[in-house]
Amino acid sequence: MIMYLNSDWKIEDGGELRIYHVDEEQHISPNNGKSVFFKSSDLAHEVLLTNKQRMSITGWLKVG
C-alpha cells in the first residue's frame, strides 16, 4: 500500500510508480492523497526517476 503526500506534483517531476502487468505497463503518478494497493509479491514494479523530493507512506500486509 502506498499513500502519496506530494502537493502540486507535475508530470515533469517524474517519480511515477511503474507496475508491470503480463501484457502492459501501468504508470501511476504520485499525486497528493492518491492511494495505491497492489500485491507487490506478484507484480514487478519500480519507481521511475524523480526530479524533486517525493514523499509517501508505505505499508505491507502479510499473512502468516
| Whole-prediction pTM | 0.89
- Count of structural domains, the chain: 1
Q: Give dist(CA 7, CA 17) in Å, integer.
A: 17
Residue 60 included in any domain: no
Percent of residues, the chain, with pLDDT higher than 70: 100
Enumerate the β-bridge partners of residue 57: 3
pLDDT of residue 11: 94
| Nearest C-alpha neighbor of 35 from the set 54, 58, 16 | 58
Mean pLDDT score, 24-47: 96
Q: How is residue 61 written as a grid cell?
A: 500486509
Tally of CB atoms within 10 A around 27: 9
Mean pLDDT score, 36-58: 95
Residue 27: which pLDDT band, with cuts at 50, 70 and 90?
very high
pLDDT of residue 64: 77
Range of the domain at 15: 2-53
pLDDT of residue 37: 96
Residue 24 included in any domain: yes
Residue 61 included in any domain: no
Helix (H, G, I), strand (E, B), or coil: what is residue 13?
Answer: helix
Residue 36 included in any domain: yes
